[in-house]
Amino acid sequence: MKNTDKTDNNRITNINKVYNIEINSMDDINNINILKTILKGLGIKSAKIIEENVDLQYRYLENLQKTLNNDELFLKLVILNAIVSYQLSTTGEKWWKEFSEYPWNNILNNNNNNDNRNINNNLFKEYILFLSNSKGNKRLNNVKIKRINKITPFLKDLSISDLENYYHNMNKFRDDIAKELNTKKSSKTVVFTIKMFGYASRMVFKKFIPYPFEIEIPKDSRIEKYTKRFANNGDVITFWNNISSEVGIPPLHIDSILWSALGNSKDVKIHLKSLDNKLYNMIETLIHL
């Protein structure tokens, strides 16, 4: 029994070192192993299915793209909305629904010549107007408007070709966004912006490019709470980076698998149940670990 206890303690110590977390029992290790086994079984293919069929944010972007019929405007709007998607007054799902239902076509309708320069100028003014009057994003409004103004010169100069190049090199886009905002590459809003840009680009360029392994998981409240099921303390990003490399799924795709299912949206639950039984049961097991 003493040898068993010593072996268990050694395993716990090793896990703590590898994942930069603090676990206290073999139950935590067992749950981490179950987590890894299920994620390996899901893979990137299942992550894509979940993104496109379960994540309401993806569905709202699809609706917006069809309504706008201007891909450059669509991509830039998604980037703007993503960089201020923090400290929300509502859930992420409701916030992106509000964003997608705003009459953005006003930008095009007020530009009879379809001049991209005028569209770009109107885009940033219209977005600030939307943000200032939004229901789901009322906190730190002045700070967020400053952030929009900071990114405006960079975004304004990007062509649809530039945006496509960024889709093929999302690490570079992450670096450039972080530089323009003068923040860390791993900051939640930067990596979340890459996630939403990836969604939108998939629709525009009709091509699925997996997220890079180098881009971290967005450290939001849902993911933080879920991580605490496996560890009392420790670095959330390091934990998921290690899980990611072991299971072969980039962190942003792991986020897609978990984030929607961990919420309380009735629509998400309906979409989850529409998946095939095996996939649904795997997700259910994950969120109840």
| Segments of the chain scoring below 50 in pLDDT | 1-4
Q: Is 74 annotated as a binding residue?
A: no
CA 11 to chain centre: 33
How many domains is the chain partitioned into structurally? 2
192 labelled ligand-binding: yes
pTM of the model: 0.91
Instruction: Please tell me whether residues 240 and 176 are part of one structural domain.
Output: no
Residue 11: the pLDDT is 64
57 is in an annotated binding site: yes
Same domain for 176 and 61, yes or no, is yes
The reported pLDDT for the residue numbered 2 is: 44
Catalytic residue numbers read 188, 220
236, exposed or middle or buried, with CB in 10 Å at 0-12, 13-18, 19+? buried
The CATH number covering residue 275 comes to: 1.10.1670.10
pLDDT tens profile 140-167: 999 999 999 999 999 999 999 999 999 9
- 218 is an annotated ligand-binding site residue: yes
Same domain, 173 and 201: yes
Please write the tens of the pLDDT for every residue from 213-247.
999 999 999 999 999 988 777 789 999 999 999 99
In a domain, 128, yes or no: yes
Question: Is 12 a domain residue?
Answer: no
Same domain, 87 and 120: yes
